[in-house]
């Protein structure tokens, strides 16, 4: 049932999501509860907010000196920002070292990576910004990782198939993220309920050549196959890497669109990257606001057209690989 939440509620919810301390969070939750319409459609949300409030109160009783969590904000470049998260030793840094030109440390011992390190991974005609993140486990809580994930375009969750208990480690991370309102999921639902943020996520199952890996992979498929697409690979042997890149691109739900000028060849160099479902209007806006303001019509070559060179309006929905000629006044 639609809850018909007010702008005041959404403003308070935004404050909640951006709050840095438990006190700020509590304050924002109080406000959300106060301004929200109280009817059947919001019962679940009200209960949810009350539960979070009591959790926060519990927490602050246990740890009176709430420590500040350091924040990392990494400038987004390329087609999307994608942290690679997972338990220690899964091969997160090894994957980044193999797929990008970055010089990241790969080590036998856990917790080598302490700060997030961005690196560009080429995929066909685009670059995806991977972030090497610290390991996260029950014994080593990285408070700012959910914040990094929340601001990202997608996540890679990496499991270690050489570890028979990797499914537990993955479940721990998924739950710990969810407790901080970050829902890692393969396909983000259209209708969002509550105030969590859903981040499209690929489960990367590394070390598939290791002894016992197949059993562990089957367990992951049973437990998480409905929730995430799974890409099995061996970074060390260099197998499954191309499939991993393709699977990540699919999870990101983006399309690549090219533009051309009238009577000229299309520029098939660097595409414009847009979310799935974007229109000619969105493309024009991304190029220049003057093009948007003076837009007359487009001509389209590609899979979304009925025929090549078809005339299209602003509302035409584009697909991956489309070429668009924009005509302005």
Ligand X SMILES: Nc1nc2c(ncn2[C@@H]2O[C@H](COP(=O)(O)OP(=O)(O)O)[C@@H](O)[C@H]2O)c(=O)[nH]1
Region of 88-96, 148-156, 186-194, 214-222 interacting with Mg ion (CB under 5 A): 88-96
Region of 3-11, 18-26, 59-67, 92-100 interacting with ligand X (CB under 6 A): 92-100
- 137 sits near ligand X (criterion: CB under 6 A): no
- 117 sits near ligand X (criterion: CB under 6 A): no
- 93 sits near Mg ion (criterion: CB under 5 A): yes
Site for Mg ion (CB under 5 A): how many residues? 4
- 99 sits near ligand X (criterion: CB under 6 A): no
- 113 sits near Mg ion (criterion: CB under 5 A): yes
- 93 sits near ligand X (criterion: CB under 6 A): yes
Q: Pick from 42, 89, 137, 201 the residue near ligand X by CB under 6 A.
A: 89
Region of 79-87, 112-120, 239-247, 318-326 interacting with Mg ion (CB under 5 A): 112-120
By a kind-dependent CB cut-off of 5 to 8 A, residue 89 interacts, out of ligand X, Mg ion, none, with: ligand X
Q: Pick from 108, 141, 175, 190 the residue near ligand X by CB under 6 A.
A: 108
Region of 7-15, 16-24, 202-210, 294-302 interacting with ligand X (CB under 6 A): 202-210
The answer to whether the CB of 116 falls within 8 A of the CB of 132 is: yes
- 234 sits near ligand X (criterion: CB under 6 A): yes
d(CA 16, CA 196): 11
Site residues (CB under 6 A) for ligand X?
A: 86, 88-94, 106-108, 110, 112-113, 135, 162, 206-207, 209-210, 234-236
């Amino acid at each position: 049932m639609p809850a018909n939440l007010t702008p005041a509620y959404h403003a308070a919810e935004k404050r909640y999501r951006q709050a840095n301390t438990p006190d700020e969070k509590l304050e924002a939750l109080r406000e959300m509860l106060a301004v929200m319409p109280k009817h059947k459609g919001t019962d679940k949300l009200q209960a949810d907010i009350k539960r979070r409030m009591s959790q926060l109160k519990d927490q602050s009783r246990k740890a009176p000196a709430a420590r500040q969590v350091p924040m990392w904000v990494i400038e987004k470049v390329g087609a999307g920002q994608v942290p690679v998260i997972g338990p220690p030793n899964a091969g997160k840094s090894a994957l980044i070292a193999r797929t990008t030109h970055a010089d990241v440390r790969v080590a036998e011992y856990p917790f080598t990576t302490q700060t997030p390190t961005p690196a560009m991974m080429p995929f066909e005609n685009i670059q995806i910004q991977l972030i090497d993140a610290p390991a996260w486990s029950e014994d080593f809580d990285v408070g700012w990782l959910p914040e990094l994930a929340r601001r990202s375009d997608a996540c890679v969750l990496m499991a270690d198939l050489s570890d028979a208990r990797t499914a537990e480690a993955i479940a721990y991370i998924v739950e710990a993220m969810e407790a901080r309102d970050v829902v890692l999921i393969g396909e983000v639902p259209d209708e969002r309920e509550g105030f969590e943020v859903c981040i499209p996520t690929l489960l990367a199952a590394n070390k598939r050549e290791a002894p016992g890996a197949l059993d562990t992979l089957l367990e992951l498929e049973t437990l998480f196959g409905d929730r995430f697409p799974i890409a099995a690979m061996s970074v060390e042997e260099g197998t499954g890497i191309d499939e991993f890149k393709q699977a990540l691109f699919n999870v990101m739900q983006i399309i690549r669109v090219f533009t051309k000028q009238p009577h000229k060849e299309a520029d098939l160099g660097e595409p414009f990257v847009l979310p799935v479902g974007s229109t000619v209007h969105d493309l024009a806006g991304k190029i220049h606001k003057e093009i948007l303001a003076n837009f007359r019509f487009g001509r389209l070559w590609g899979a979304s057209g009925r025929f090549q060179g078809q005339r299209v309006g602003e509302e035409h929905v584009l697909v991956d690989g489309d070429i668009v000629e924009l005509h302005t006044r």
